[in-house]
C-alpha cells in the first residue's frame, strides 16, 4: 500500500496537473486564480496525505484529510451539476478505497477541542462557503472565462477547495493534535490564493483587494493558531 499511495501522490502532482497549474499562476495570459485553485487542492491538500501514507501507512489524519477533499469534490459536482467533476471525485474515492483495503486505522482518537481554532473556522465559514457557491454558479453558467482540465471546469474545483479548507479547519478544531499538518496545507492554500488575487486584480474567481488581504490574514490566523496549539501540547 505504501507504493500505491506514493504513486497516487505523483499522479495528482504531475498527470493530475497540480504542479503544472501552479507554475502558470504568475502568467497573466492564464486564468491564474483558477489555475491556483486546481493546483492547491490537488498539490497541497490531496497529494501530501497520499505521500504521508507512503511513509506511514497507519496515518488516520491523512485518510480523514483525503475523505474530506473527496466529499467536497462530490458536493461541488452536485451543486455545479457537473458529471465531469463527479468522475474526478470518483477517481479520488477509488484511490482512497484501495488504500483503506489494507486496513489502516481511521480513528483520530478522543476529541481535544481547540477553541481558538474553532473561532478561526467559524470566522472563515460564511465567506468561504459563499465563495464556493459563487464558483458553483459560475460552473453552471459555463462562463467564457472558465478553464478546463481533464474535462473538468475549474470553477467547480475552486469551490471544492473552499469547502475543503473550511471542513478541515473545523475538523482540526476538534482534533488539533492530529490534523496539524492539514492546517499547514490550508494556510498555504488560502495565503497563496490571496497573494495571487492581489497580484492579478480582476482575474476570474479573484477577490477584491480588501478580501485578498482578509484571506491572507485568515491564512496567517490558521497557521499561528494551529502552531501555538501544537507547541503548547508538546510543552
Nearest C-alpha neighbor of 190 from the set 156, 148, 224, 142: 224
Element (H, E) at 149: strand 148-149
What is the distance between the alpha carbons of residues 141 and 193, in angstroms, rounded to a whole number? 23
In this prediction, residue 105 has a pLDDT band, given cuts at 50, 70 and 90, of confident
* Per-residue pLDDT reduced to its tens digit, 121-167: 999 999 999 999 999 999 999 999 999 999 999 999 999 999 999 99
Contacts of 40 (CB under 8 A, 6+ apart): 22, 161, 188, 189, 192, 193
Q: What value does the mean pLDDT take over residues 207-228?
A: 97
What is the distance between the alpha carbons of residues 222 and 224, in angstroms, rounded to a whole number? 6
| Start-to-end CA span in the chain (Å) | 34
Which DSSP category does 30 fall into? S
pLDDT at 13 over 60: yes
pTM, whole model, 2 decimals?
Answer: 0.96
Amino acid at each position: 500500500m505504501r507504493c500505491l499511495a506514493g504513486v497516487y501522490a505523483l499522479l495528482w502532482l504531475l498527470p493530475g496537473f497540480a504542479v503544472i497549474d501552479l507554475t502558470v499562476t504568475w502568467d497573466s495570459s492564464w486564468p491564474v486564480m483558477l489555475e491556483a485553485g486546481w493546483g492547491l487542492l490537488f498539490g497541497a491538500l490531496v497529494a501530501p496525505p497520499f505521500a504521508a501514507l507512503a511513509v506511514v501507512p497507519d496515518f488516520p489524519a491523512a485518510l480523514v484529510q483525503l475523505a474530506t477533499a473527496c466529499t467536497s469534490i462530490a458536493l461541488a459536482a452536485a451543486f455545479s451539476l457537473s458529471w465531469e467533476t463527479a468522475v474526478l471525485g470518483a477517481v479520488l474515492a477509488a484511490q482512497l478505497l484501495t488504500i483503506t483495503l489494507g486496513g489502516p486505522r481511521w480513528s483520530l482518537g478522543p476529541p481535544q477541542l481547540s477553541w481558538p481554532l474553532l473561532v478561526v473556522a467559524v470566522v472563515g465559514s460564511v465567506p468561504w462557503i459563499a465563495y464556493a457557491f459563487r464558483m458553483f454558479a459560475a460552473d453552471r453558467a459555463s462562463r467564457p472565462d472558465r478553464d478546463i482540465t481533464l474535462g473538468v471546469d475549474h470553477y467547480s474545483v475552486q469551490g471544492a477547495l473552499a469547502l475543503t479548507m473550511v471542513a478541515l479547519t473545523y475538523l482540526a478544531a476538534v482534533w488539533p493534535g492530529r490534523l496539524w499538518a492539514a492546517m499547514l496545507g490550508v494556510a498555504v492554500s488560502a495565503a497563496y490564493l490571496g497573494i495571487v488575487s492581489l497580484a492579478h486584480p480582476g482575474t476570474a474567481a479573484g477577490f477584491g483587494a480588501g478580501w485578498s488581504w482578509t484571506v491572507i490574514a485568515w491564512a496567517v490566523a490558521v497557521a499561528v493558531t494551529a502552531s501555538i496549539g501544537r507547541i503548547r501540547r508538546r510543552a
